[in-house]
Amino acid sequence: MVLPRPHRFDVYIAVGGLLGGLLLVGIGLATRPAKDPITLFDGPWPILVPLTVLAGCELLRRAAPRTALLTGTVAISADVMTQGSLASILMFTDIMYAAVLYGPLASARRIQWITGLLTVAATLVPFAIWRIPEALLIGVVVGIVAYGPAATGWIVRNHRDAAEAARLRAEQTALLAEIDRSQAVVAERARMARELHDMVANHLSAIAIHSTAALSIGDAKTSQEALSVIRENSVEGLAEMRRLIGILRDAGGDTEPVAAPTLDGLGALAAGARTNGLDVHLDSDPGTVPAPVELAAYRIVQESLTNALKHASPGRVTVALAQRDGSLTVSVTSPFGDHDGPRAPGSGAGLVGMQERVALLGGTFEAGPEQSADGKIWVVRAALPLTEGDLA
């Protein structure tokens, strides 16, 4: 069996204990006189054997505490048969302390019980036999040498474990806080991406479509109308961008953030879509709805009109909003586009953004082609819960 390498501090203790014991032997200082009845080996030199063994046990006090305690118990028992050394007793108390502090938890508990029982026995048995008060001192000595160090090691161990547990809790709290912060940053970035996409995509799509028309059609009047639409959408897009920047920037002084769009603005939104060439029919009776639902519904209609502008075939686009069964239902239908590609480039994030908005409110969302009496259409449907419990 290969023993672990001793800790440097343990080496210092072992060397100091051995040198101190040798000094005591050199000056002839022992714990018992030479002619003591329990001393089997008189003289200074027998003291060196348990002293050396206990110094060796000190090397293992941290690396192998149970081995050090068992060996040290044998050595201190042997020391009783000599004149004894104060250095040996001190080293044994340190070994007992280290066994409780560094040893396994089960062993530390057993040592507590064993040393406590030994102290009680060493107090009561000699007194019961000899019937003299001085016999009680044996229990006191055993308590000082055995139970005292064990109890001290147990107290220190509890404090150390409590400090370690507190440190781990602090690290866990810091880790959870960092995870929450990262999730909040990701959620905020996703929200900003949705807002930026919804606010600007509609205007940029109109600009792209009408600029293509202006470049491809040689008619001056058509080009003039296209340029007018391009200018109008550029101004509105710039206003939306300024609003977003105002929200992101820290407001100072008397500056107040611009209010978020509401369902009252659906009429203006539909009018802008008609300006861009869509035949929009608006049927809106939302009633009073919470602000998060209102913003989500507005953005869903806005993005649906943008997609209709980019992808739909010519025909009527219908927008309908109504409260039904505790939810605000949003429905946008447009003629299904059968051309080879969109009239304006897109990021493909529109449907994902709408679905994310609905999911955050605990609602349902669907989008896809359907057959109708007027032919194939593209339908966007969303149901947004109105109650606070569903919004949580």
Read off the pLDDT of residues 303-354 as tens digits, 9 standing for 90 and up: 888 888 877 778 889 999 999 888 999 999 998 876 554 455 555 567 888 8
Tell whether 61 is covered by a domain: yes
- Placement of tokens 């659906």 in the chain: 266
What's the rounded mean pLDDT across residues 259-279? 81
Cα atoms in the Cβ-side hemisphere of radius 13 Å centred on 359? 9
Q: What is the pLDDT of residue 20?
A: 94
Cα atoms in the Cβ-side hemisphere of radius 13 Å centred on 265? 13
Residues 265 and 162 in one domain: no
Model confidence at 256, in pLDDT bands (50, 70, 90)? very low
Q: What is the pLDDT of residue 13?
A: 94
Last residue of a domain, one of 145, 171, 197: 171
Tokens read off for 54? 């206990």
By DSSP bridging, strand 316-324 and strand 279-285 are: parallel
User: Picking from 183-187, 198-202, 377-381, which range would have the lowest pLDDT averaged per residue?
Assistant: 198-202
Report how far residue 190's alpha carbon sits from residue 201's, in angstroms, rounded to the nearest whole number. Answer: 16
Tell whether 380 is covered by a domain: yes
Tell me how many domains the chain contains.
2
pTM across the whole model:
0.55
- Placement of tokens 């028309």 in the chain: 213
Q: What is the pLDDT of residue 388?
A: 55
Residues 24 and 153 in one domain: yes
What's the mean pLDDT when you consider all of the chain?
83
Q: What is the pLDDT of residue 254?
A: 45
Tell whether 207 is covered by a domain: no
Tell whether 279 is covered by a domain: yes
Residues 37 and 167 in one domain: yes
Tell whether 188 is covered by a domain: no
Residues 157 and 12 in one domain: yes
Assign 3-class secondary structure to the chain: CCCCCCCHHHHHHHHHHHHHHHHHHHCCCCCCCCCCCCCCECCCHHHHHHHHHHHHHHHCCCCCHHHHHHHHHHHHHHHHCECCCHHHHHHHHHHHHHHHHHCCHHHHHHHHHHHHHHHHHHHHHHHHHHCCHHHHHHHHHHHHHHHHHHHHHHHHHHHHHHHHHHHHHHHHHHHHHHHHHHHHHHHHHHHHHHHHHHHHHHHHHHHHHHHHHHHHCCCHHHHHHHHHHHHHHHHHHHHHHHHHHHHHCCCCCCCCCCCCCCHHHHHHHHHHHHHCCCEEEEEEECCCCCHHHHHHHHHHHHHHHHHHHHHCCCCEEEEEEEEECCEEEEEEEEECCCCCCCCCCCCCCHHHHHHHHHHHCCCEEEEEEEEECCEEEEEEEEEEECCHHHHC
Which has more pLDDT, 234 or 84? 84
Residues 16 and 165 in one domain: yes
Where in the sequence is the domain holding 366, given as residue range(s)?
259-392
Residues 151 and 269 in one domain: no
User: Picking from 23-37, 76-90, 219-233, which range would have the lowest pLDDT averaged per residue?
Assistant: 219-233
Tell whether 245 is covered by a domain: no
Residues 19 and 157 in one domain: yes
Tell whether 2 is covered by a domain: no
Residues 160 and 282 in one domain: no
- Placement of tokens 């003591």 in the chain: 36
Q: What percent of the chain has pLDDT over 70?
A: 81
Last residue of a domain, one of 116, 149, 171: 171
Model confidence at 216, in pLDDT bands (50, 70, 90)? low
Residue 390 has pLDDT above 90, yes or no: no
Residues 165 and 298 in one domain: no
CATH of the domain at 365: 3.30.565.10
Residue 249 has pLDDT above 50, yes or no: yes
Q: What is the pLDDT of residue 222?
A: 64
Last residue of a domain, one of 171, 203, 225: 171
Residues 55 and 157 in one domain: yes
**How many residues are there in the chain?**
392
Is there a contact between 152 and 93 (Cβ–Cβ < 8 Å)? no
